[in-house]
Structure 1
Amino acid sequence: MGKIPIFWEINIQSDFFKDLSSNERAHCRHRMESSKLALLLVILYCVERGLCGSCVVDSFSVKEDFDPKRYAGKWYALQKKDPEGLFLQDNISAEYTIDDDGSMTASSKGRVTLFGFWVVCADMAAQYSVPDPGTPGKMFMNYQGLASYLSSGGDNYWVIDTDYDNYAITYACRTQKDDGSCEDGYALVFSRNPRGLPPAIQRIVRQKQDDICMAGQFQPVLQSGAC
């Protein structure tokens, strides 16, 4: 038997409601609205569960077969998502070098405001290690401020994506929530060119920002040559 035409369905429903009293019609409509609301809540729950699952830090993918030799050289930060506390504010750049033993080191610069009023160009140094050789894009970074008033420490350094010649997106989560999503983290969008990225690459970057659950959280980084 073929599918009932839509206008028949409408007529059937209309005839059905005609045979009911006003109270019965109101009751039926109420039950239908309740069913729609229940269905909507189920859909919203499923969407929420899906979004939460995708924001688990350990589920984020990084650049496959990351090649530090191709990554080496000068990069300029164009966008950033800050962590909690003190962080470089603008004119951020980093130069990566591959040492004789194959390990990667970096020297970086950027302006920072200290004590709420003192704006200085901070010089930093960093050394990178690869905890799992099977995932070279997931590194750990030890960093040191090259002045007594600058902090030192360690963070994850994940290269989420790069084409080596134009752009790179790096990510670090410092603390995680109980559900595995990030409580406090930061990310940077780098470019080989301090003047910006072409539109096609900007679209790729926006997608990657969404992939790490940071869409809409980035702010532009001024590159004025101050450092």
Structure 2
Amino acid sequence: MTPADVMSYVLQVAIAKQCTVDSFPVQANFITERYLGKWYEIKWFSDNYLPTDVLYQDFSNVFTQQSDGNISISTTGRTNIVKESVLGRLLDYWIVSTDYVNYAVAYMCFEENADGTCGKAESWILSRHSYLADDKLAKVNLQIEQLCLNTTLFLTTYRTNGCSADPSSVVG
């Protein structure tokens, strides 16, 4: 083994340790009530193959708190899902970062590898509006990199219905 091989191995081990699922951040002091409301999907990533006819357009989620404390997620084009909120994690759906009024980064690991890295992940860049300003997208991309995901692999969710930036969609 050459010195370059040893250095490469050490670097790979260091990167793998930083990319373990349990080291990923979640939103500190997550406030469920401020997160509630409508979120537009701006970009998304999936390790699972999806045929092109499944690519989403005009995709959004509406998060509503039920009387029992559970969170109902109404998703355009999908069946409603009920999840509970726990400190920035909506069960398997993690809120990695949000400012509650402009952007949110969500993450889900479906399959954790033996070394603690994620084998199959999905992640979403969400906005309270049908667009996300470049300065906010730059901030979001830094959060994505902390999840050991390549921002260039995120797919854009296209808008065909002229979604408005309705201020009433913001609860928090």
TM-score band, normalised by shorter chain:
0.7 to 0.9
Question: Which residue does the alignment assign to 1:108?
Answer: 75
In structure 2, the CA distance between the partners of 1:129 and 1:88, relative to structure 1 (3 Å rule), is farther
Q: Specify the alignment match of 2:106 in structure 1.
A: 170
- Displacement of 1:106: 1.4
Which of 35, 56, 60 matches 1:89? 56
Larger RCO (CA within 8 A; separation ≥ 6): 2
Instruction: Provide the TM-score with structure 2 as the length reference.
Output: 0.83
Structure 1 distance, partners of 2:96, 2:57, is: 22
Aligned match of 2:170: none
Selected match of 2:32 from 48, 54, 68: 68
Report how far residue 128 of structure 1 moved.
Answer: 1.3
Counterpart of 1:211?
146
The reply on whether 1:221 has 2:131 as its aligned counterpart is no
Unaligned runs of 5+ in 2: 164-172
Give the conservation status (yes or no) of the 8 Å contact 2:103–2:125: yes
1:139 alignment partner, one of 62, 69, 90: 90
1:41 Cα offset (Å): 3.1
Matching residue of 2:84? 129
Shift of 1:174: 0.6
The residue correspondences of 1:34-53 to structure 2 (distance < 5 A) are 38=3, 40-53=4-17
- 3-state DSSP of counterpart to 1:179: coil
**Cα shift at 1:209:** 0.9
Which amino acid letter does the alignment assign opposite residue 140 of structure 2?
Answer: V
Alignment of 1:193-212 (within 5 A): 193-194=129-130, 196-212=131-147
Q: 1:182 aligns with which of 118, 125, 128?
A: 118
Separation in structure 1 between the aligned mates of residue 78 and residue 61 of structure 2, nearest angstrom? 10
Q: What are structure 1's unaligned runs of at least 5 residues?
A: 1-33, 110-121, 141-155
Is 1:159 aligned with 2:105? no
Q: Cα offset for 1:84?
A: 1.8
Q: CA deviation at 1:85?
A: 5.1
SS in 2 for 1:213: coil
Regions of 4+ moved over 6 Å: none
Identity of aligned residues (%): 27
